[in-house]
Amino acid sequence: MAIADGVAANAANFNAAFADRGSFLLSYKAIIGSSSGCTHATLAAAISDVGVVAGSRILVTENYTVDTSPISISKANLQIDFSPAVTYTAGTSVTGITIDAAGIKIKGCRFSGFTTAISISSTFNYNWVTECRFATCTNEVVEVDATPNNVILGNITEWKLFL
């Protein structure tokens, strides 16, 4: 059931309009995690899936440790949303995510322990990194391009107080 123009909104039709889980899943091409309804175990697996095309939305629902090499995002115009409290932690990789495409939106992740949490490769612009948190990261977001044109806004650096 959908809410139509001119129809008075009430609790019954409002709840019915948003209770359809299938409609919610249609807004995300990939959902990362291990619980019911998730489509991929890792962000890297979703990005390498040919069904996740440029312009897709991805929801990340679970914490992850980045080992060996950074997660490389090479498909343009992906929107990657992280559920609240999801943390990407440095394992053996010193960089968390490398952006090798234009128009990427990363929103709401907590990065911990990286030398560089996010690296935006040279020549790739028009990317957004917003509402992320960085804990004990030497470099939060590094733009390799000499004349970058990206939005890095509304992020938080976590500070640890020593008394």
Mean pLDDT of the chain: 90
**pLDDT tens, position by position, 71-117:** 999 999 999 999 999 999 999 999 999 999 999 999 999 999 999 99
Identify the pLDDT of residue 1: 45
Three-state secondary structure of the chain? CCCCCCCCCCHHHHHHHHCCHHHHHHCCCEEECCCCCCCECCHHHHHHCCCCCCCCEEEECCCEEECCCCEEECCCCCEEEECCCCEEEECCCCEEEEECCCCCEEECCEEECCCEEEEECCCCCCCEEECCEEECCCEEEEECCCCCCCEEECCEEECCCCC
